[in-house]
Amino acid sequence: MNVHDSERIAGILSEVGYEASNSIDTADVVVLNTCCIRENADNKLYGNLGHLSALKAERPGMKIVVAGCLAQKDKELVAKKAPYVDVVVGTFNLSSIPDLLSRADGSKAEMEFLDAPKEYDEVSSIAMKRESSISAWVSIQTGCNNSCAFCIVPSVRGKEVSRPFQDIVDEVRLLARSGVREVTLLGQNVNSYGRDITLSLRKGEIEGDLERWSGERWLLDPRPRVRPLFSDLLRAVGSVKGISRVRFTSPHPKDMVIETFEAMSETEAVCEQLHFPLQSGSDRVLSEMRRGYSSAKYLERLRLARSIVPDLAVSTDIIVGFPGESDEDFKDTLRVVEEANFDGAFTFIFSPRPGTRAAEMTQSFIDPEIVQTRFDALKEVVEVSALGKHEARVGRVEEVLVEGSSKRDSSVLSGRTRQNKLVHFVPPSDLELSEGDLIGVRIGSAAPHFLRGEVDRVISRPRVRQSIALKP
């Protein structure tokens, strides 16, 4: 979500005449788009602002913008801690940045915040400057209606607001015409997408073009009920000509339904990839977290997904050291992780966020050394399962979407499989490959976080080709 918002900010500034700078030292405007999921993000912001203070002293005309979740959370505190900041703007006010910059005269920070998202009619019209020409984030909703004890997202992103169904499909069509081959549907809880729309439709609160809001399938249902529209959306986006791959992030296990798995299986473009946040394998901790499911229910839905979607790769999120987590609780997490046999996991040490229920559980905070030991043990278990999943792919020819040169070795190209596996390969000397090419790569070796292989064949080329400069 943060990356997507940064692309929107870049697009907004480009529309009013700004050009991207290659160096922070020569930029007229520096934008820090912030996240507040974990505490180190706060520290990183103020550390960066300290560096910019010295730079601004040398170049007084430079303007500094702080945007995003930390700005929404801290509001005036940002300007108080860093009085040289020119603009502070919340998560719902990105379109106001040019106007705030024009008003900023250095005397005080220009600030603007809303307590709820703007109407999606306005939000979706904001310009976009995307980092990739072949892959694109597509926002389908903002906000979150859940109340997880550790999460600050609802307070900085607001309640769920779903974007009109047809607006999303139309955006994907435009992207396909511009050469984009892969889209990722983005939301805080994607599998609840559209529930607010169908509720409003049933109440008669939406007038005009109803199909624009709900899509055709819901309107044609003899008994249209209040329900999410996510499975319908997967089918519609997956049928857009020119789109080879559809991904989504992130769903919530308590809201995951069989219709989503069926849409994944029956829609060719939808990738065999599922990010399925577990957070903990302890039922007691899950209850304290207010996650709304048990470990058994989680594993049941995971088995269902794998039975419906062939060759499904599953990743997850896990928090270690939630307040009150006992040795037995952690053992439960290890047990569930081993049984789930994930392809990968994002593992985090609990970070108390002000304003959340968990941050107030100070009497139950766990010794950092104990948490670190558990974190290391969990990481080892995850890497064993990830390596096993990758080794099972050795010898197979995987469909890979070429992304560009490897960050570590510019003579090596990288791309991703439909399961979102990172693959490195050296292109044959007699074959010119471009960003966006779909190729077959025969996997020769595996590591926990990537695969290596050799090009077997070219499957298809994008209509708009982007050459890749290789260095020896």
| Token pair belonging to 304 | 């269902």
Name the residue type at position 447.
A
C-alpha closest to that of 293 among 140, 155, 142, 146? 146
Report CA dihedral (303, 309, 312, 318) to the nearest 10 degrees.
-40
69 is in an annotated binding site: no
C-alpha closest to that of 278 among 259, 258, 310, 300? 300
Helix (H, G, I), strand (E, B) or coil at 438: strand
| Token pair belonging to 119 | 């109407």
DSSP state of 296: H
- Backbone torsions φ then ψ of 461, nearest 5 degrees: -115, 150
151 is in an annotated binding site: yes
C-alpha closest to that of 196 among 248, 144, 154? 144
CA distance 319 to 233: 30
C-alpha closest to that of 370 among 356, 349, 348? 349
Name the residue type at position 298.
Y
Q: 287, 149 in Cβ contact below 8 A?
A: no
Q: Which residues share a beta bridge with 30?
A: 64
The 3-state DSSP composition of the chain as helix, strand, coil percent (nearest 5) reads: 40, 20, 40
Name the residue type at position 199.
L
Q: 336, 294 in Cβ contact below 8 A?
A: no
CA distance 273 to 364: 36
Name the residue type at position 361.
M
Helix (H, G, I), strand (E, B) or coil at 55: helix
| Token pair belonging to 289 | 């977290």
148 is in an annotated binding site: yes
CA 119 to chain centre: 21
- Backbone torsions φ then ψ of 219, nearest 5 degrees: -65, -30
DSSP state of 71: H
The owner of tokens 């994944």 is 264
Show Cβ contacts of residue 6 under 8 Å, excluding neighbours closer than 6 positions: 31, 33
Q: 154, 143 in Cβ contact below 8 A?
A: yes
**Residues comprising the binding site for [4Fe-4S] cluster?**
144, 148, 151
**Residues comprising the binding site?**
144, 148, 151
